[in-house]
Amino acid sequence: MQYRLLGDTGLSVSRFCFGTLPMGPLQANLPLSYGVTLLRQARQLGVNFFDTADSYETYPVLRAALGHDEGAIIATKGYAYTARGARSLVERARQGLDRDVIDLVLLHEQESELTLQGHREALDYLYEEKLKGTIKAVGVSTHHVEVVERAHAWPQIEVIHPLLNVKGLGIQDGNREDMESAIATARSHGRGVYAMKALGGGHFYQDAHKALAYVSSLSWLDAVAVGVKSEAELHLDVAWLLGQEGDPHLVREVQSTSRQLFIEWWCQACGRCVQHCPFGALKVVGERARVDGERCLLCGYCAKECPHFCIKVV
């Protein structure tokens, strides 16, 4: 495994960051025992960096698999505008992960300089907790170039978790080259950077080797978070990110697995999923929500907003 310092945070992280979204109830909803197996296999491969979020509902499997493993670095994300909201976010993580100190806390899905201003109170609280020692580093996640461009001007923001992939799929206010330039500048200012959606939410799995080779080639990326929900995916993605050849049998197994956003028949056409899809992939047609497969990144966030639990990634 290769390791990098995450900007100026002092955290040494594996280049491969294990993304836990796909194993949770928003997507595959893996049995706890299998999730524990995957996480422990990742540790055996040298992975020490794990990404989750308040909304992923994967704290139980991380707690069960990693316990008080001091070598495992866990990043969590959440939504908070106020100090009170940020305090609740941190306390849920501490209790859910059974850890007194949280390695990395990020405010989720920041959209612009204006959005950052609106979250200043929460950012200030998180940074104060970092100074007290209950958090090791503070950051933001984003799909927007503007946030990456502006983040290095904020002393509270030590780590950036931006969307980046070989086709620029999902970048909201620019293209791949814009995001690359913004990330390189942020890294030159000492910000830690680990990318998300390198496989386009599953869209690029038929050409995953190329997609992971692209992000692996970027020297100013400290790590890349890749969602994992099977042993085959884990071993292949780690190998490809490190520039190695994958087992042909595993390649066939993974590439034969299809993925899609599935909307159950009992959909009430309330439109909440449409409002919360950042990619414009959903719309209500007649009495049901419909998905545009060309736009959908299979992130599963819409499933969290559905009051009738109609939406799944399968």
* Owning domain of residue 280: 261-313
What is the pLDDT, as a whole number, of residue 304?
Answer: 72
Tell me the pTM: 0.86
Give the pair of three-digit tokens for residue 237: 């993605």
First to last CA, the chain: 30
Considering the domain architecture, whether residues 26 and 68 belong to the same structural domain is answered as: yes
Considering the domain architecture, whether residues 88 and 11 belong to the same structural domain is answered as: yes
Residue pLDDT, tens place only, 117-145 = 999 999 999 999 999 999 999 999 999 99
Considering the domain architecture, whether residues 95 and 185 belong to the same structural domain is answered as: yes
Q: Which CATH number is 266's domain given?
A: 3.30.70.20
Quote the number of domains for the chain: 2
Q: What is the mean pLDDT of the chain?
A: 90
List, in order, residues 6 or more apart from 80 with CB less than 8 Å away: 86, 88, 89, 107, 119, 122
Considering the domain architecture, whether residues 61 and 184 belong to the same structural domain is answered as: yes
Q: Which CATH number is 81's domain given?
A: 3.20.20.100
Residue pLDDT, tens place only, 287-314 = 899 999 888 877 777 877 887 767 776 6
The count of other CB atoms within 10 Å of the CB of residue 53 is 26
Report whether pLDDT(217) > 90.
yes
Pairing status of strand 282-285 against strand 223-227: unpaired
